[in-house]
A and B are shown apart, each in its own frame.
Chain A
Amino acid sequence: MKNFQIIRALSSKSAVSSIAKENSAMFIAGGTNLVDLMKKNVVSPDKLIDINGVDLKKIEFLTGKVSIGALAKNSQVAEDQLIKESYPLLALALAAGASQQIRHMATVGGNMLQRTRCSYFYNPDMPCNKRVPKSGCGAIGGANRMHAIFGASDSCIAVHPSDMCIALAALDATVFTEGPKGKREIRFTDFHRLPGNTPEKDNTLLDKEIITSIEIPNNNFTKNIHYLKVRDRSSYAFALISVAAGLDIKDNTIQDARLAMGGVAHKPWRLTEAEEFLKGKTVSEKTFRQAADLAMKGARSYGDNDFKLTLGPNAITEALTIAASK
């Protein structure tokens, strides 16, 4: 790892003003992804701004919503009793990610900003438009078993790796940020982006901006929910496909539905058309299968990941069936 300077910021304002003066500085929180990327020479900042001293760790239950600080640890959120009761889909998704050691280190904001695990991105000897713009994409025509089936481009077919973010996309969360030009709020589903011709940009965070918190509005998705994660081993592996499913069922009729997929696109993939289809329908596996088929419209595979075209609808059907049975 190339050496660097490190300074500690004690407020989000001082963190933003510290980074504003720098050309090659980065914020570091849990470091579980950034330190790894630095060891592999994927990123080599000259300076790190350690933001762990900033007071952004609180989980606050407010009227009609919960606010979670960007520096709250993944395990802290996953094991919070009120989160488990009021936002169980988020708790399930968090517990499905990484290992307990990593969840103790990783923060909510860092989880949102983690980079793809595409093996071409991680190998500086390989072409990768995300790492080096216009250097080509090794995964197209290469080893692409983990890669996207939705929203990819000729520049990049990498997928977003988070589990937490799939639940947050389904739960209509909002992201709060602070930067040199002030504070902003961004709809969670608008935070991550599709690759297009600029796959080097994972999200819509502006240069030198910092995530301060996220908010989730209260909802009725507390009982009939499930986070299904299909992976190569039963724990501690990235998703081949994951599904966050939430159903609001009264008298066997679906009042409202939430569905999002992970492991299939450059961003958490919300399945709004399938959600609309499910509203007002009676709970049945046939209905769930029809919703899954709707959700898969427009899917396209790249060779090694052809299996995702079959696994996808099966996973959606399974997740909805398990959610409905709870």
Chain B
Amino acid sequence: MAAKKSIKKVVEEDSNNSRRDFIKKSGLFTALAFTPPSLVMASDKKWDEKIAEYLETVPLSLEVNGVKHNLNIEPRTTLLDLLREQLLLTGTKKGCDHGQCGACTVHVNGTRILSCLSLASMQQNAQVTTIEGLSKGKKLHPMQEAFIKNDGFQCGYCTPGQIMSGIACIKEGHANSRDEIREYMSGNICRCGAYHNIVDAITEVKEGGMPL
């Protein structure tokens, strides 16, 4: 109740402002009305500080595909959402968002991980490589070439994750047989069922011995 009173008071004081300003502010007040009462009621006069604390951001420096970024992010931002929503690198896909499908696989400091279960705020000074960072100009990465040649996908949604995982699978030394590839690629689900051709593509790159 206290919060409502103070909002009404502020609106009255600003009654001479333009209609656009009013709409902007009333939008904020609507948002305020939906914030938890404990937060707003905590202190009538200090609500702006409380909101600032609630929406607190943290600084983050990291390198994505060789490009340095200095950002301010909410602590709850996942690496996946940072890549897709803030850096607009939408090649990395959000499949399940719960670590069950592998579509969000990227490399952090050379290791394949799930970006959906990684908090961006824990990636200070990390070097991230996404599917966008693989090709050299117009020349595709050997794994990308192999996926096309071996028809390693149908709808393509899991493909960025499969390719990032496939490269790591070889680098880790876990691509010595079809069975081993299947086991170490089991974290990447393909709903179209292109598994056979994915294993073909990884086998070809491994046997080709090309630099990854």
Contacts from A to B (Cβ < 8 Å): 1-6, 8, 28, 31-32, 35-36, 38-40, 48, 50, 52, 98-102, 104-105, 234-236
Q: Does B23 contact A (CB under 8 A)?
A: no
- Determine the chain B residues whose CB is within 8 A of the CB of A28 once the complex forms: 119, 122
Chain B interface size, under 10 / 10 to 19 / 20 to 34 / 35 or more: 20 to 34
Identity of the chain A residue whose Cβ is nearest the Cβ of B183 in the assembled complex: A235
User: Shortest distance in angstroms between B162's beta carbon and chain A's nearest beta carbon?
Assistant: 12
The CA-CA distance from A272 to B45 in the complex, in Å, is 65
Identity of the chain B residue whose Cβ is nearest the Cβ of A98 in the assembled complex: B187
User: Shortest distance in angstroms between A237's beta carbon and chain B's nearest beta carbon?
Assistant: 9
Identity of the chain B residue whose Cβ is nearest the Cβ of A36 in the assembled complex: B98
Contact B187 A100 (CB under 8 A): yes
- Determine the chain B residues whose CB is within 8 A of the CB of A5 once the complex forms: 56, 75
- Determine the chain B residues whose CB is within 8 A of the CB of A50 once the complex forms: 121-122
- Determine the chain B residues whose CB is within 8 A of the CB of A31 once the complex forms: 117-119, 122
The CA-CA distance from A99 to B186 in the complex, in Å, is 6
**Per-residue 0/1 for B24-67: is the Cβ within 8 Å of any A Cβ (1 yes, 0 no)?**
00000000000000000000000000000011101000000000
Q: Does B200 contact A (CB under 8 A)?
A: no
Contact A235 B186 (CB under 8 A): yes
- Determine the chain A residues whose CB is within 8 A of the CB of B186 once the complex forms: 99-100, 234-236
- Determine the chain B residues whose CB is within 8 A of the CB of A100 once the complex forms: 112, 165, 168-169, 172, 174, 184, 186-187
Considering the complex, which residues of chain B in the window 153-212 have a beta carbon less than 8 Å from any beta carbon of chain A?
165, 168-169, 172, 174, 182-184, 186-188
- Determine the chain B residues whose CB is within 8 A of the CB of A6 once the complex forms: 58, 75, 119, 121-122
Question: Given the known A-B contacts A39-B97, A100-B184, are A3 and B55 also in contact in the complex, defined by CB atoms under 8 Å?
Answer: yes
Q: Does B92 contact A (CB under 8 A)?
A: no
- Determine the chain A residues whose CB is within 8 A of the CB of B168 once the complex forms: 100
Identity of the chain B residue whose Cβ is nearest the Cβ of A52 in the assembled complex: B122
Most chain-A CB neighbours within 10 Å: which of B97, B99, B121? Answer: B99
Identity of the chain A residue whose Cβ is nearest the Cβ of B55 in the assembled complex: A3
Q: Does B102 contact A (CB under 8 A)?
A: yes
Q: Does B76 contact A (CB under 8 A)?
A: yes
User: Shortest distance in angstroms between A14's beta carbon and chain B's nearest beta carbon?
Assistant: 17
User: Shortest distance in angstroms between A32's beta carbon and chain B's nearest beta carbon?
Assistant: 5
Q: Does B78 contact A (CB under 8 A)?
A: yes
Contact A99 B76 (CB under 8 A): no
User: Shortest distance in angstroms between A114's beta carbon and chain B's nearest beta carbon?
Assistant: 12
The CA-CA distance from A5 to B78 in the complex, in Å, is 14
The CA-CA distance from A5 to B58 in the complex, in Å, is 9
Q: Does B130 contact A (CB under 8 A)?
A: no
- Determine the chain A residues whose CB is within 8 A of the CB of B111 once the complex forms: 104
The CA-CA distance from A105 to B165 in the complex, in Å, is 14
Q: Does B105 contact A (CB under 8 A)?
A: yes
**Per-residue 0/1 for B76-107: is the Cβ within 8 Å of any A Cβ (1 yes, 0 no)?**
10100000000000000000011100100100
Identity of the chain B residue whose Cβ is nearest the Cβ of A35 in the assembled complex: B117
Supplied contacts A32-B117, A50-B121, A98-B187, 11 more A-B pairs, CB within 8 Å? A3-B55, A5-B56, A28-B122, A35-B118, A38-B76, A100-B174, A101-B112, A101-B114, A105-B117, A234-B186, A236-B187
- Among B56, B122, B187, which residue has its beta carbon within 8 angstroms of that of A102? B187
A-B contact pairs, 30 of them (CB 8 A): A3-B74, A4-B75, A5-B56, A5-B75, A6-B58, A6-B75, A6-B121, A28-B119, A31-B119, A32-B99, A32-B114, A35-B78, A35-B118, A36-B117, A48-B75, A48-B119, A50-B122, A98-B187, A99-B186, A99-B187, A99-B188, A100-B168, A100-B174, A100-B184, A100-B187, A101-B112, A105-B117, A235-B182, A235-B183, A235-B186
Identity of the chain A residue whose Cβ is nearest the Cβ of B164 in the assembled complex: A101
The CA-CA distance from A52 to B121 in the complex, in Å, is 12
Question: Given the known A-B contacts A28-B119, A99-B102, are A105 and B113 also in contact in the complex, defined by CB atoms under 8 Å?
Answer: yes
Contact B183 A3 (CB under 8 A): no
Contact B112 A35 (CB under 8 A): no
Contact B76 A2 (CB under 8 A): yes
Identity of the chain A residue whose Cβ is nearest the Cβ of B53 in the assembled complex: A5
The CA-CA distance from A4 to B118 in the complex, in Å, is 15
